Structure 1
Amino acid sequence: MKIAFVGKGGSGKTTLSSLFIRHLAATGDPVVAIDADINQHLGTALGLDEDEAAALPSMGGNLPLIKDYLRGANPRISSADTMIKTTPPGTGSRLLRIREDNAVHAACGRPVPLDPGEVTLMVTGAFTEADLGVACYHSKVGAVELYLNHLVDGAGEYVVVDMTAGSDSFASGLFTRFDMTFLVAEPTRKGVSVYRQYKEYARDFGVSLKVVGNKVQGQDDVDYLRAEVGDDLLATVAHSGWVRSAEKGRPAPFAALEEKNRATLGELKAAVDAAYGQRDWERYTRQMVHFHLRNARSWGNAKAGADLAEQVDPGFVLREPAPQYT
């Protein structure tokens, strides 16, 4: 299952995504965690120190390798150089599985031990000084989009993506790549404004969206969120001494997380697992193609010097089980 955490800056989405990742890892299920935020903090939220987090290989820096591997023997893609962030898979493409060793995981993924469990962490890479004025951050996030577009994941397998703040994810088709999107909202007017914007943008694309109220201090905050977002409010998170200690570099065992907050994480997992039964691989593939054609017309054809619509394999549907390619 593919899960996104979104929300305005400062809402606590990275903290909540890291808690959810820990919750999944504790069950023993395979988890890939991806930091796709322009501010890269997921690694430290999962317990890495600053130097360890900074040393992680970036997906953006490995984009040529990712493209070359995913291209495989697809005859519709003349070269890896003609692939853009939305290039869809087709017959002959290499598809990815969570429970496998492959070139993308080897180059970009690193195991992070947790208490208990372990996850594979990948990061897009920070927006550096060298990028200022000459690059768009979405060029880095494009590596995540390619990864998800070629990923055949199943029940009991989880990819959790900490997205960039606000509505920036709508700059590409990345927002349609998830079985569940959790929008983290504080009980304030600013906190729910991103929800309204996200809900409007996602309305026509079948995005499964649930709100997780954060920094909730009492029933009045819960009532406020319920009045503003209605049935989209799934659960709320109260103040956490466990999180405060972890942010000070003194994390307790994860089993010591407050019972109410553990119950909230359980509600999130139940919602995700239920969403898998509603997955529509054909719609998922159609949306992939839709955004590829839009990007091709807008800028991709000019950049590649070719008609990228020809990369679309009209008879191909990404689905499970995946064909095996060598």
Structure 2
Amino acid sequence: MKIAVTGKGGVGKTTLCALLARELASQGKRVLAIDADPNANLGEALGYDEETSGRIEPLIEKKVLVEERTGTKPGSMGGYFVLNPKVDDLVERFSVGIQGLRLIVTGELKEALGGCYCPENALLRSFLRHLMVERDEWVILDMEAGFEHLTRGTAESVGTLLIVVEPGQRAMNTAGKIASLAKQLHIRKVGYVINKVHSEGQEKRVADKLGNDAIWATIPFDFLALEADLSGSSPYDQCPEMLEKIRGLVRRLLSDAEE
């Protein structure tokens, strides 16, 4: 199953991705976690120690690779380059093993003046297409808000889109816009995960706005998650209450995958 996770910045989507990926891996599933957020920190949330093991270089920063696969130097726009470069070996070459799963950091798409395409984007889009369409493991994609990383073809291969939302008008408005875009891209299953909930009243207000049936999980605010972040620990190892809620969500996802 291919699961994309998005939402307004700061709502906790990276934490959700880490918990989902770790729990699926603990149940024996083959999991590939993809950090496509410009503020890449999924590795840390999974338990990767950057100070000891070094920074994971995003694919889009690998200039030699980009030029080798597209035939054009990074930073170039216009001209001729390979639009569908070879990417099927990148997971094996550049992913990092963490806690029984694999992680790869892609980096963000480059903004091109006047809508121009560039070799970095060609490589990244081809790679995401390969991940979402051709690979058969559980893929957890940590996205920025919006669908800049996904073309229509890759979006249609997303089995589930999880939109993380916290109690607050801005987060709810962003979530609603993302859900509308998901419908336009024909993503079949879309669910909201309410995070950082302090009370039942907050949960009800979010559910009333977004629709009760669309709420797939509710996760209470957890001070232990803050402590885990401060200490550089994975929330999977430090937040039992959050993990119990995630296990309920995973049961739903596993059931959907069997349909």
| Alignment TM-score > 0.5, same fold | yes
User: Is residue 151 from structure 1 mapped to residue 134 from structure 2 by the alignment?
Assistant: yes
Are the counterparts in 2 of residues 40 and 126 from structure 1 also a CA contact under 8 Å?
Answer: no
> 1:159-238 residue pairs with structure 2 within 5 A?
159-164=139-144, 166-169=145-148, 172-173=151-152, 174-204=154-184, 205-230=186-211, 231-238=213-220
Question: Against the structure 1 CA distance between its residues 196 and 127, is the aligned structure 2 distance closer, same or farther, given a 3 Å change threshold?
Answer: closer
Cα distance, 1:206 vs. partner? 3.8
Give the equivalent residue in structure 2 for 1:251.
233
Give the equivalent residue in structure 2 for 1:108.
94
Q: SS of 2:39's equivalent?
A: coil
Q: SS of 1:34's equivalent?
A: strand
- The one-letter code sitting in structure 1 at the alignment partner of 2:93 is A
Cα distance, 1:139 vs. partner? 5.0
Cα distance, 1:119 vs. partner? 1.2
Cα distance, 1:125 vs. partner? 3.0
Give the equivalent residue in structure 1 for 2:104.
122
> 1:60-139 residue pairs with structure 2 within 5 A?
60=60, 61=62, 62-63=65-66, 81-84=81-84, 103-112=89-98, 114=99, 118-125=100-107
- The one-letter code sitting in structure 2 at the alignment partner of 1:21 is A
Aligned length, in residue pairs = 242
Give the equivalent residue in structure 1 for 2:78.
none
User: Is residue 262 from structure 1 mapped to residue 243 from structure 2 by the alignment?
Assistant: yes
| Structure 2 unmatched runs, 5+ | 72-80
- The one-letter code sitting in structure 2 at the alignment partner of 1:177 is S
Cα distance, 1:126 vs. partner? 5.9
Are the counterparts in 2 of residues 125 and 140 from structure 1 also a CA contact under 8 Å?
Answer: no
- The one-letter code sitting in structure 1 at the alignment partner of 2:246 is L
1:66 and 1:176 mapped to 2: Cα distance?
26
2:38 and 2:123 mapped to 1: Cα distance?
9
Are the counterparts in 2 of residues 124 and 143 from structure 1 also a CA contact under 8 Å?
Answer: no
2:2 and 2:55 mapped to 1: Cα distance?
26
1:66 and 1:52 mapped to 2: Cα distance?
31
> 1:25-36 residue pairs with structure 2 within 5 A?
25-36=25-36
- The one-letter code sitting in structure 2 at the alignment partner of 1:34 is I
1:45 and 1:2 mapped to 2: Cα distance?
20
2:247 and 2:66 mapped to 1: Cα distance?
35
Cα distance, 1:180 vs. partner? 1.0
Cα distance per residue 1:133-186 (max 9 Å; x no partner): 798785564144232255241xxx41111011x224376334333111110001
Cα distance, 1:108 vs. partner? 1.7
Cα distance per residue 1:22-45 (max 9 Å; x no partner): 222222322111101111111122
- The one-letter code sitting in structure 2 at the alignment partner of 1:247 is D
User: Is residue 142 from structure 1 mapped to residue 125 from structure 2 by the alignment?
Assistant: yes
Question: Against the structure 1 CA distance between its residues 20 and 190, is the aligned structure 2 distance closer, same or farther, given a 3 Å change threshold?
Answer: same
Question: Against the structure 1 CA distance between its residues 124 and 203, is the aligned structure 2 distance closer, same or farther, given a 3 Å change threshold?
Answer: same
| Structure 1 unmatched runs, 5+ | 69-80, 86-92, 97-102, 279-326
Q: TM-score, normalised by structure 1?
A: 0.64
Give the equivalent residue in structure 2 for 1:44.
44
Q: SS of 2:34's equivalent?
A: strand
Are the counterparts in 1 of residues 7 and 13 from structure 2 also a CA contact under 8 Å?
Answer: yes
Give the equivalent residue in structure 2 for 1:4.
4
Question: Against the structure 1 CA distance between its residues 125 and 167, is the aligned structure 2 distance closer, same or farther, given a 3 Å change threshold?
Answer: closer
Q: TM-score, normalised by structure 2?
A: 0.78
Question: Against the structure 1 CA distance between its residues 22 and 67, is the aligned structure 2 distance closer, same or farther, given a 3 Å change threshold?
Answer: farther
Are the counterparts in 1 of residues 2 and 139 from structure 2 also a CA contact under 8 Å?
Answer: yes
Cα distance, 1:46 vs. partner? 1.7
Q: SS of 2:148's equivalent?
A: helix
Cα distance per residue 1:226-261 (max 9 Å; x no partner): 1011111111111223322221125389455333x2
Are the counterparts in 2 of residues 149 and 177 from structure 1 also a CA contact under 8 Å?
Answer: yes
- The one-letter code sitting in structure 2 at the alignment partner of 1:7 is G
